[in-house]
Amino acid sequence: MMNLRGECLCGGVKYEYNGETGPVINCHCNECRKWHGSAYRTRTVGKKANFSWLSGEENVAFYDRLPNVIKTFCKICGSNLISLYKDNEGFIGLPLGAVEIVDSMKKAEQIELLKPSYHVYVDYKADWHDITDNLPQYKELPDEISSIHKLKQD
């Protein structure tokens, strides 16, 4: 069980997640690279029922033009918040760069759970970025390793 808090750059939007999370992936797809303006997106997945906005929900904006994902972001500072899955409404995507572990007693254990398990969509990775770790790499995101799939099995 994970206890996470996240907030945007301006601090106007805050949220928490208390519950189980799925495997953490580094996604190198074109959408994630543009979305984050970075080499890849590191994210996990959780159950929507375990998520709540703590403050600033009125500043949450929605981008709903991707096939299966609605991304949310802060209207003031533009930071990425959670993502919503159109085909899996009970789940959310959590970008790890924005979250912190709340429970200091369980920090070491939770840090282990937040370490990435694999790279996906590596065929789309930025030309200038070399993957230098030994994690498994996938050309796309096979269903059997997807975080939603793993969380559904529990």
Helix (H) or strand (E) holding 124: none
Q: Tokens 């996990």 sit at which residue?
A: 44
- Candidates 1, 61, 66, 77; binder of Zn ion (CB under 5 A) is 77
How many residues belong to the site for Zn ion (CB under 5 A)?
A: 9
Q: Does 82 bind Zn ion (CB under 5 A)?
A: no
Evaluate whether 64 touches 85 at the Cβ level (below 8 Å): no
**Stretch of 31-39, 47-55, 87-95, 97-105 lying at the interface with Zn ion (CB under 5 A):** 31-39
Cα(118)–Cα(154) distance, rounded to whole angstroms? Answer: 21
Tokens of 42: 């590191």
| Helical H segments across 7-56, by residue range | 30-36
Q: Does 76 bind Zn ion (CB under 5 A)?
A: yes
- Candidates 24, 27, 81, 94; binder of Zn ion (CB under 5 A) is 27
- Binding residues for Zn ion, per CB under 5 A? 8, 10, 12, 27, 29, 32, 74, 76-77
